[in-house]
Amino acid sequence: MIKNVPINQFLGNSMRKSIALIIASLTQISFGAPTYIENPLSCKNVDVPSDRELREIVIGQDNWLYHRSTFNDMPTFSGDAWNGLDHFVHILSKKDIKLFIVPIPSKPSAIPSPIKYDPSNELENYIVFLSHLSKYNVGFVDLMSLSSKNDQLLSQENYYSHSDTHWTAHGARISAELVAREMLRSSQYDKIFQNLNFTTVKSSSRLDTGNLSSIINKKCEEKWESERFEEYATTESGIAGSELLSDLESPITLIGTSFSDNRRFNFAGFLSEFLRTRVLPANKSGGSIFGAMHDFLVDPNTNLPETKIIIWEFPVYYSTKTSSEFAQLSGDLLGKCRNNLYDSSIKPNKATVISPTTGNFNYFTIVFSDPLFNRFNLSIKYKDETTEDLVIDRANSTLKTSDTQFNFYPTKSINRNIDSLSIIPSGHWNKEINAAVYFCKEN
């Protein structure tokens, strides 16, 4: 078994690609449950197992702190999720938008691991994920190559924070430099870059606690040692700093999670500097990988015609098996469908079937009368008698929003016409609501 060894140190480039392609060629990949972790946090004055926040914190070697959710041995995508990504990229390309994915290695696979944890499966999943991406019309970068001793970007500074779930500003900077290196040497991005000048300076350096050690300090008698955090700010020559990443137009948008949203990391600023192009952030802390993309696509202020590249920052410990999230993102890209309205009443514990009476349709919008109705199942029947099932859970998952509107462009609808929809409330829903369903055909 491989323990705590960066990918480029245990595989040469050619061997690595060969093994990755062999693994990726398997129809189903299952690496089993995450390895048992034996080193949870303990506090003198708190019953940790009964505290939701504290029981998720794990102490590793040399007092590195981890969040339990980042120990994920399951594939990032599996099942229909790959079809969903392919569908999403297809619609982006029709709008002349290129997608570049930045898979962020999990903290346990990148730096010293806790007791009883072997990151081999995570590293294999990472290889498989990149191998699959190579089959689609997307750009991507291998940030694990930063761990190679021969890479000139490597330094003695820490890529991840000791006491936080995120990278440091140093980790964000060297990642941005590698992203820029990959993008600038690709001919598919010619004539998009602006050739502007940016300057990045250190704005502060202070001792502070990370998001994990802050929880410990708040709830436990023990006080976790502070670590030094460096912060940076990027400005464009001739442009006031406050305007740089907000109101100006740009052909590149960064979609991301808290790795990009937190100003402490300055990821969009570093990307702007190394790409010499304005990179405007549209990130969402706590909204997961799909939530930030959803918010960007449905925001009335989003200028999609101006957007030529979307850089999608993507922590690889997120995992999805279905195309449900992509069906919604693809629908968001097409926009609200406003034709062929059908009103219906959704009753608890009952499937409501809605059928368009005329025409051929392949995407639809549902608007519910109650914004709390955000967890349900959709069963789609096509005119060729095939079906597709989508599980919608906007309450606690990737698409965190109170919107009453849901746009859907299901994966199978590219070559099929919709015959009917069945809307099935989840078990907790106990009242009747109204639903307006609009059926449309993609232009």
Residues 272-299 pLDDT 10s? 999 999 999 988 776 678 888 988 998 8
Question: Given this model, what pLDDT does residue 241 score?
Answer: 52
Provide the H-helix boundaries in 153-210.
169-184
211 vs 45, higher pLDDT: 211
Q: Which of 8-22, 88-102, 133-147, 294-308 has the lowest mean pLDDT?
A: 8-22
147 vs 42, higher pLDDT: 42
Question: Given this model, what pLDDT does residue 8 score?
Answer: 38
Count CA within 13 A, CB hemisphere, residue 321: 6
In which band, very low, low, confident or very high, does the pLDDT at 88 lie, cut at 50, 70 and 90? very high
Question: Given this model, what pLDDT does residue 19 score?
Answer: 37
Say yes or no to pLDDT of 10 above 50.
Answer: no
Question: Given this model, what pLDDT does residue 22 score?
Answer: 36
Max mean pLDDT among 59-73, 264-278, 387-401 falls in 264-278
Q: Average pLDDT, stretch 407-433?
A: 91
Question: Given this model, what pLDDT does residue 98 score?
Answer: 95
b/e burial code for range 289-298 (CB count within 10 A of at least 16 → b): bbbbbbbbbb
225 vs 101, higher pLDDT: 101
How crowded is residue 407: how many other Cβ atoms within 10 Å of its Cβ? 26
Contact (Cβ atoms closer than 8 angstroms) between residue 54 and residue 43: yes
Question: Given this model, what pLDDT does residue 13 score?
Answer: 43
| E strands in 146-256 | 198-208, 227-236, 252-256
Question: Given this model, what pLDDT does residue 261 score?
Answer: 83
Question: Given this model, what pLDDT does residue 442 score?
Answer: 85
Instruction: Show Cβ contacts of residue 144 under 8 Å, excluding neighbours closer than 6 positions.
Output: 6, 7, 8, 105, 110, 123, 126
403 vs 289, higher pLDDT: 289
Question: Given this model, what pLDDT does residue 147 score?
Answer: 64
Among residues of the chain, what percentage have pLDDT more than 90? 51
Q: How far apart are CA 134 and CA 118, in angstroms?
A: 27
Q: How far apart are CA 143 and CA 40, in angstroms?
A: 28
Question: Given this model, what pLDDT does residue 21 score?
Answer: 38
Q: What is the pLDDT of residues 317-357, one digit of tens each?
A: 888 888 999 999 999 999 888 889 999 999 998 999 999 98
Say yes or no to pLDDT of 17 above 50.
Answer: no
**Residue corresponding to tokens 């969009």:** 268
Q: What is the pLDDT of residues 147-165, one digit of tens each?
A: 654 444 444 468 899 999 9
Max mean pLDDT among 108-112, 218-222, 375-379 falls in 375-379
Sheet harboring 341-346: ordered strands across?
341-346, 433-440, 363-368, 405-408
88 vs 62, higher pLDDT: 88
Tokens of 39: 């080193």
- Quick one: which H or E segment has residue 99? strand 98-104
Question: Given this model, what pLDDT does residue 395 score?
Answer: 64
In which band, very low, low, confident or very high, does the pLDDT at 25 lie, cut at 50, 70 and 90? very low
Q: Average pLDDT, stretch 7-16?
A: 38
Say yes or no to pLDDT of 242 above 80.
Answer: no
Q: What is the DSSP letter of 40?
A: B
Count CA within 13 A, CB hemisphere, residue 312: 24
Question: Given this model, what pLDDT does residue 31 score?
Answer: 42
Q: Which of 43-47, 54-58, 233-237, 305-309 has the lowest mean pLDDT?
A: 43-47
In which band, very low, low, confident or very high, does the pLDDT at 193 lie, cut at 50, 70 and 90? very high
Question: Given this model, what pLDDT does residue 86 score?
Answer: 92
Q: Average pLDDT, stretch 293-311?
A: 90
Question: Given this model, what pLDDT does residue 224 score?
Answer: 86
